[in-house]
Amino acid sequence: MTRWIRQWAPALVWAAFIWTMSTDYFSAAHTASWIKPILRWLDPGISAHTINEIHHAIRKSAHFVEYFIFTLLLYRGLRGREPGWHLKWALIALVTAACYSGLDEVHQAFVASRGASPWDSLLDSSGALGAMVVYWLWARPRALRPLPQETPTEIPPRL
């Protein structure tokens, strides 16, 4: 049981984090109340249009990053103690993240200050796909490396 918890707890905690980010507290109106003052502090001459564009880009980037991390954590849970890259694990992690993204959008449809968007779900799934591509690129050179050859130890002659 402890091994299962170590494998899956990070993904479950991150799923709860994503769910929390889909509440009213992280709606566009609420995030604007702290992101916009920070942007004005960084550049007092910034236009309202530029502030809105940056705020929008930050919010959309958050979708990609949330699901990028989530998918890596799902892959970690699926992999367990096994090393390396396996397409089966990657596909399961990717499909799970995409399904969770759909559920998250349904959740947002029931939050008054939020809205469900298939485009956001597509962006989430793009983050998940990006995670698996990056992980594959990272794991591939390791898989292609030859294993170190064991050198036979010499047995000293008996006298």
Tally of CB atoms within 10 A around 31: 16
11 pLDDT tier (thresholds 50, 70, 90): very high
Q: Is the pLDDT of residue 152 over 80?
A: no
Contact by Cβ (8 Å): 132, 97: no
For residues 123-150, average pLDDT: 82
150 pLDDT tier (thresholds 50, 70, 90): low
Sign for the pseudo-dihedral over CA of 45, 47, 52, 56: negative
The pLDDT tens digits of the residues spanning 130-139 come to: 999 999 998 8
Matching residue, tokens 């494998």: 7
Q: What angle do CA 107, 60, 49 make, to 5 degrees?
A: 120
What DSSP designation does 23 have?
S
pTM: predicted TM-score of the whole model, two decimal places: 0.81
Domain boundaries, the chain: 2-144
Task: Please tell me whether residue 115 adopts helix, strand or coil conformation.
Answer: coil
